């Protein structure tokens, strides 16, 4: 038997859903919505990588702006 969300099962039963259908639905929802520690760890690693990439992109954009602004300022003076 798979794991199921007991609150969902109870809510279905109170709503008049037959027992087997309520159990199947609660198990299906449990399988779709459960995140393991491994899943969360993977997401944390991805977020750290993305944050690092964003920092690099910020520096690159700043450098491009500086490279384009310096000749403009030289032209004014």
Residues 27 and 55 in one domain: no
2-24, pLDDT tens digit by residue?
A: 577 788 889 999 999 999 998 88
Residues 50 and 68 in one domain: yes
Q: What is the mean pLDDT of residues 16-33?
A: 84
Of the pLDDT bands very low, low, confident and very high (cuts 50, 70, 90), residue 62 is very high
Q: Is the pTM of this model over 0.75?
A: no
Residues 29 and 45 in one domain: no
Count of domains for the chain: 2
Residue numbers of the domain that contains 2: 1-34
Distance separating alpha carbons of residues 60 and 46, to the nearest angstrom: 21
Cα-based distances in Å from 53 to 3, 15, 43, 45, 61 = 38, 49, 15, 13, 12
Residues 76 and 50 in one domain: yes
Instruction: Count the neighbouring beta carbons within 10 Å of the beta carbon of residue 12.
Output: 19
Q: How far apart are the first and last CA of the chain?
A: 79
Residues 27 and 42 in one domain: no
């Amino acid at each position: 038997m798979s794991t199921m969300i007991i609150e969902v099962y109870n809510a279905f039963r109170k709503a008049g859903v037959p027992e087997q259908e309520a159990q199947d639905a609660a198990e299906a929802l449990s399988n779709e919505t459960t995140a393991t520690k491994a899943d969360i760890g993977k997401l944390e690693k991805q977020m750290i990588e993305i944050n690092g990439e964003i920092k690099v992109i910020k520096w690159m954009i700043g450098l491009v702006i500086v490279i384009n602004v310096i000749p403009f300022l030289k032209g004014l003076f």
